[in-house]
């Protein structure tokens, strides 16, 4: 039965029920009095009865005039079977009524039941469409993938910028979906699966939608977590249903986002092979082995945790190709910004290249958020267009946090913070090869930052020498060195600086082989990969306690050397430190031009 036929049946039942309801209400609305048979005979003898309706058990009728109580209709229980002889002499109009029929019984008793069942069926279907519990019990093994046609994705390769290498890899997938026979004429086959690997926000999902938009094919999109339910076997059933739907609509693309939720390495938990997730993964492996690439079904998946995926999922013949979607470099950031800047109103001085220089390490999602924050700030101040000042403010808000002007510091704390931040800035200005100081401020931001120093790299760096690492540690130690030099004591404001310095020093010793005492040996394996500093995993140690003691000694020696170097640099520039700190206390914020002007040593008086 089609959906339209079901709707027509529902309309029929609803109309019939409405007719019965109106009839009953109409009958209920007429005032009727129940009288005894003797009173009925008396009314007939007095010629007050106009008409009656006679049934097997009851007599209903209408009066020529109202009763004393105001009723015009009456009803009585039939006693005399020969009622015609009673009524005929008085000219009463007599009609017969059939008390019960099959149709009336059907409508009167079964229609409410059918109507209740129809309402129940409608509610269950609505819950199923929205993923409710009731609908899930009826279609629990069905795939929950959202199906998009090309017009619905609305994304093409022109909307994706900054990842040219990844787009080139995926263009081959698009060509295959458009013309599978041409790509298989020499016996080659398309990769069964393409795994998009990259940090969060780098554009993996956007790339997958762009492939569907370019190929003009159905796009099945689902998250890895949607396969797993509390019922055993549901995930495997949904995997089978998803691939079956894709085969029916081939050529098509299946996109599984957050594959790590589904493809985690087996035997990693305590449930063993009976774990529901493992059964779902096994079914996915079977489907990858079973479907023919010549049918035009391509599997795309995305993850930012490839190190935890099952090795069987990554072997050749399943996910044949892995495409890295990394953080964009400066030219890539310029391209991404140009895409997002087209949608907002800009002032003439806004330059995408300058904004890209302020945002090293930003992903595509970060840059989109940056443009939105700048637009919101311009709106709050009532501007007609977005200026570079709005973008500078947005960068500070994303990097350092929201301004906390209500966090009032006492004069002594403000002075310590000012010298601390100027210590960072002056050491950075004094050492070669360090990032340019863009801005220094003592306005509290974020959760715990009482001040901040923003440095802007002149170019993207992928390799650093030992000297550059030592210079970076000296800059980080500059704030603590300024406090020690000026006030003769240390404070808790350098906690984050110490952590970062220790991380660099430890990496120099155990990973980069930059310790003369330990030599060119890597004692720990780097397990971060491309995922970034925020998601570091525990390192694997392959050394004994004696070596661990030497490593601790070397790390301390490197950090102490960085601190001593910062102290010497600031001692030689003490007059500049005092002058710039006082200026910072007055202005609260100093930009790059002001810093360079203030940092110039004054000529000695003649």
CATH number, domain containing residue 420:
1.20.58.760
In terms of domains, do 24 and 74 share one? yes
Do 586 and 510 share a structural domain? yes
> According to the 3-state scheme, what is the secondary structure of 536-594?
CCCCEECCCHHHHHHHHHHHHHHHHHHHHHHHHHHHHCHHHHHHHHHHHHHHCEEEHHH
Is the pLDDT higher at 290 or at 560?
Answer: 560
Query: CATH number, domain at 72?
Result: 3.30.720.210
Residue 132 marked ligand-binding: no
Q: Is residue 331 scored above 80 in pLDDT?
A: yes
**176 and 316 inside one domain:** yes
For residue 420, say whether it is annotated as part of any ligand binding site: yes
User: Is residue 497 marked as binding?
Assistant: yes
Known binder of ligand: residue 330?
A: no
Q: Is 331 annotated as a binding residue?
A: no
3-state secondary structure 99-152: CCCHHHHHHHHHHHHHHHHHHHHHHHHHHHHCCCHHHHHHCCCCCCCEEECHHH
Domain endpoint, select from 353, 371, 400: 400
pTM for the structure as a whole: 0.65
14, part of any domain: yes
Q: SS3 for 529?
A: coil
Q: Does a structural domain hold residue 69?
A: yes
How is residue 56 annotated by DSSP? S
Q: Which domain holds residue 204?
A: 146-324
pLDDT band at 506 (very low <50, low <70, confident <90, very high): very high
Same domain assignment for residues 546 and 465: yes
Say which residue, 108 or 160, is predicted with more confidence. Answer: 160
Query: Which tens digit of pLDDT belongs to each residue from 376-425?
Result: 999 998 888 999 888 888 888 887 776 666 666 778 888 888 899 899 98
Most confident among 133-137, 328-332, 409-413 (mean pLDDT): 328-332
Whether 361 is covered by a domain: the verdict is yes
On whether both 80 and 200 belong to a single domain, the answer is no
Residue 405 lies in a domain: no
Residue 406 lies in a domain: no
Residue 109 pLDDT > 70: no
Model confidence at 345: pLDDT above 80: yes
Query: Has 233 been labeled as part of a binding site?
Result: no
Same domain, 200 and 223: yes
Q: Is 432 annotated as a binding residue?
A: no
- 598, 589 contact by CB (below 8 A): no
Residue 64 known to bind ligand: no
For the cut 70, the answer to whether the pLDDT of residue 601 exceeds it is no
In degrees rounded to 5, what are phi and psi of residue 160?
Answer: -110, 120
Closest CA to 77 of 16, 36, 112, 122: 36
Residue 132 lies in a domain: no
Q: Which has the higher per-residue pLDDT, 82 or 360?
A: 360
In the structure encoding, which two tokens stand for residue 76, read together?
A: 């009585």
Asked if pLDDT for residue 507 goes beyond 50, the answer is yes
Domains of the chain: total = 4
Q: Is residue 112 part of a domain?
A: no
Burial of 3 (0-12, 13-18, 19+ CB in 10 A): exposed
Residues 422 and 389 in one domain: no
Beta bridge partners of 441: 452, 589
pLDDT at 2: 46
Q: Can you give the pLDDT at residue 326? A: 84
Q: Which of 197, 145, 207 is nearest to 308 (CA)?
A: 197
Q: Which of 292, 324, 356 is the last residue before a domain boundary?
A: 324
Question: Which are the catalytic amino acids?
Answer: 421
- Here the tokens at position 225 are 């977590």
Whether residues 365 and 484 share a domain: the answer is no
Does 167 carry a binding-site annotation? no
Pair 434, 514 in one domain = yes
Question: Burial letters for 108-143: b for 16+ Cβ neighbours within 10 Å, e otherwise?
Answer: eeeeeebeeeeeeeeeebebbeeeeeebbeeeebbb
Interval 187-201 mean pLDDT: 80
CA distance 258 to 226: 10
Greatest mean pLDDT among 70-74, 158-162, 204-208: 204-208
The CATH number assigned to the domain holding 393 equals: 1.10.8.60
Q: Edge to edge, what strands does the sheet with 219-223 contain?
A: 146-148, 219-223, 252-257, 297-303, 193-197, 321-324
Q: Which of 310 and 268 is assigned the larger pLDDT?
A: 310
**pLDDT over 90 at 553, yes or no:** yes
Is residue 134 in a domain?
A: no
Write the CATH number for 226. 3.40.50.300
- The pairing of beta strand 146-148 with beta strand 49-54: unpaired
Residue 453 pLDDT > 70, yes or no?
yes
**Which of 324, 356, 374 is the last residue in one of the domains?**
324
Residue 140, pLDDT score? 47
> Quick check: 573 pLDDT over 50?
yes
Report for 27-36, 231-240, 560-569: range of highest mean pLDDT: 560-569
Residue 200, annotated as binding a ligand? yes
For residue 441, pLDDT over 80 is answered with yes
CA angle 224, 229, 231 (to 5 degrees): 145
Per-residue confidence band for 99, with pLDDT thresholds at 50, 70 and 90: low
* Domain match, 233 and 151 both: yes
328 is in an annotated binding site: no
User: What six digits make up the tokens of 187?
Assistant: 């016996």
On whether both 432 and 501 belong to a single domain, the answer is: yes
In this structure, are 569 and 448 located in the same domain? yes
Q: CA–CA separation, 380 vs 418, rounded Å?
A: 29
């Amino acid at each position: 039965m089609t959906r339209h036929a079901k709707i027509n049946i529902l309309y029929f039942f609803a109309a019939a029920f409405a007719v019965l309801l109106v009839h009953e209400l109409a009958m209920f609305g007429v005032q009727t009095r129940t009288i005894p048979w003797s009173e009925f005979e008396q009314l007939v003898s007095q010629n007050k009865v106009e008409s009656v309706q006679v049934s097997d058990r009851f007599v209903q009728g209408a009066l020529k005039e109202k009763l004393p109580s105001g009723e015009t209709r009456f009803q009585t229980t039939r006693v005399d079977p020969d009622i015609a002889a009673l009524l005929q002499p008085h000219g009463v109009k007599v009609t017969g009524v059939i008390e019960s029929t099959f149709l009336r019984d059907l409508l009167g008793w079964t229609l409410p039941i059918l109507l209740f069942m129809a309402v129940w069926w409608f509610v269950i279907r609505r819950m199923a469409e929205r993923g409710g519990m009731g609908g899930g019990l009826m279609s629990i093994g069905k795939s929950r993938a959202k199906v998009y046609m090309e017009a619905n994705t609305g994304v093409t390769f022109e909307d994706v910028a900054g990842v040219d290498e990844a787009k080139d890899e995926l263009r081959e997938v698009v060509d295959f979906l458009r013309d599978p026979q041409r790509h298989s004429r020499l016996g080659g086959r398309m990769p069964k699966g393409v795994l998009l690997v990259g940090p969060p926000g780098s554009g993996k999902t956007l790339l997958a939608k762009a492939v569907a938009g370019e190929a003009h094919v159905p796009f099945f999109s689902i998250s890895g977590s949607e396969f797993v339910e509390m019922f055993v076997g549901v995930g495997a059933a949904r995997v089978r249903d998803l691939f079956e739907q894709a085969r029916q609509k081939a050529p098509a693309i299946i996109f599984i986002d957050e594959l790590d939720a589904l493809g985690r390495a087996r035997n990693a938990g305590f449930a063993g092979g009976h774990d529901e997730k493992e059964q779902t993964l096994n079914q996915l492996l079977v489907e990858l082995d079973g479907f023919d690439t010549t049918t035009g079904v391509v599997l795309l998946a995305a993850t930012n945790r490839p190190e935890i995926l099952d090795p069987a999922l990554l072997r050749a013949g399943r996910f044949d190709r892995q495409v890295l979607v990394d953080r964009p470099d400066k030219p890539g950031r310029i391209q991404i910004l140009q895409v997002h800047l087209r949608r907002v109103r800009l002032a003439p001085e806004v330059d995408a290249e300058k904004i890209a220089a302020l945002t090293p390490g930003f992903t595509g999602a970060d840059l989109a958020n940056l443009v939105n924050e700048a637009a919101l700030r311009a709106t709050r101040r009532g501007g007609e267009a977005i200026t570079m000042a709005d973008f500078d403010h947005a960068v500070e808000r994303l990097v350092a946090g929201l301004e906390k002007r209500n966090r009032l510091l006492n004069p002594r704390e403000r002075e310590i913070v000012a010298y601390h931040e100027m210590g960072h800035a002056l050491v950075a200005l004094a050492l070669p090869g360090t990032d340019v100081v863009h801005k220094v401020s003592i306005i509290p931001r974020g959760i715990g930052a009482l001040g901040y120093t923003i440095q802007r790299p002149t170019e993207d760096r992928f390799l650093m020498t030992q000297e550059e690492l030592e210079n970076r540690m000296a800059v980080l130690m500059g704030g603590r060195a300024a406090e020690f030099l000026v006030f003769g004591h240390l404070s808790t404001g350098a906690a984050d600086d110490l952590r970062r310095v220790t991380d660099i020093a430890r990496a120099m010793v155990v990973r980069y082989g930059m310790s003369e005492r330990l030599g060119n040996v890597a004692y720990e394996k780097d397990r971060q990969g491309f995922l970034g500093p925020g998601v570091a995993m525990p390192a694997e140690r392959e050394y004994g306690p004696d070596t661990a003691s030497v490593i601790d000694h070397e790390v301390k020696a490197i950090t102490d050397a960085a601190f001593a170097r910062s102290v010497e640099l600031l001692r030689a520039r003490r007059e500049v430190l005092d002058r710039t700190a006082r200026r910072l206390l007055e202005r609260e914020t100093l930009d790059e031009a002001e810093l360079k002007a203030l940092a110039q040593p004054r000529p000695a008086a003649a």
